[in-house]
Amino acid sequence: MPPLVGVAPAGALPTGASSGGSVPSHVAIIMDGNGRWAASRGLPRAAGHKAGAEAVTRCLRAARANGVDYLTLYAFSSENWRREPSEVADLTGLLKFYLRHKVAELHREQVKIRFVGEVGRFGPELCSEMTRAEELTAGNTGLTLLLALSYGGRSDIVQAARALARAAKCGALDPAAIDEDMVSGYLLTAGVPDPDVIVRTSGEHRLSNFLLWQSAYAELVFLDTLWPDFDEACFTRVLNIYGRRERRFGARPA
């Protein structure tokens, strides 16, 4: 699969992009295949989500071991609210369990946790747990784990546009001064470099409304592996694929 490239001045990098190398600074993953994993084993979908949560632990361990700085996981999309209420309840229950029982361990490992998305839709109890996790780990200096919850790339861009419009309306911002850097600063991922590589598991070949602005120059890697089967070997495979890519950001090859 060829790298995704765009147009940029020769020698320049887009906002937040790294210059390349065998280890990406920021890996983002669309975790897909929990349901199919469970169905293939005659298990309820809840079992697939539980196995998927265990895969998150393996992925996080591999990211830390390989020196990745940022790991973003698409844990719950804005479209996932359309699923059966019982499945949404299973997913939110699993999230609640991990927030209550795993955050302390991540804190000891110096992982910084950040949530991006319309997290208010999960209700005050879960929002309080998320705030507690972010505050507890805010000073950590290890890997930054971003969990995209009730997240949609289009809505992210829309909320940034609204914020910019409000600032311009009240005179705090000159519309003529709006550029790509400024837009990036109003996104939910503000302050985080754009992903170097976006991975999707389960054999699907689409972004599904994930980090649409931020993915402009990301390398795309699609794996047939179902997410609950994702392990350290899969992560190494992603790094090997990424290491063979030539990232030109739209510039001519040397």
Is 206 annotated to bind a ligand? Reply is yes
- Is 93 annotated in some ligand binding site? no
Q: Residue 217: CB partners within 8 Å, gap ≥ 6? A: 4, 5, 6, 8, 14, 17, 194, 247, 249, 250
Would the annotation count 184 as a binding residue?
no
Q: Is 200 annotated as a binding residue?
A: yes
User: Is 58 annotated among the ligand-binding residues?
Assistant: no
Among 67, 72, 60, 73, smallest CA distance to 16 is for 72
Helical axes 45-65 vs 85-101, angle rounded to 10°? 40
**Tokens representing 106?**
């991540």
Return the residue matching tokens 């409304």.
Answer: 209
- 32 an active-site residue? yes
Interatomic CA distance for residues 184 and 188, integer angstroms = 9
Residue 19 known to bind ligand: no
**Is 156 marked as binding a ligand?**
no
80 in active site? yes
Token pair, residue 152, equals 């949609």
d(CA 92, CA 138): 23
Annotation-wise, does 135 bind a ligand? Answer: no
Among 66, 80, 140, 209, the active-site one is 80
210 with 27: CB under 8 angstroms?
A: no
Instruction: Give me the catalytic one of 32, 69, 90, 194.
Output: 32
| 36 marked ligand binding residue | yes
- List the binding residues for Mg(2+): 32, 219
- List the binding residues: 32-37, 45, 49, 77-79, 81, 83, 200, 206-208, 219
Give catalytic residue positions.
32, 80
- List the binding residues for substrate: 33-37, 45, 49, 77-79, 81, 83, 200, 206-208
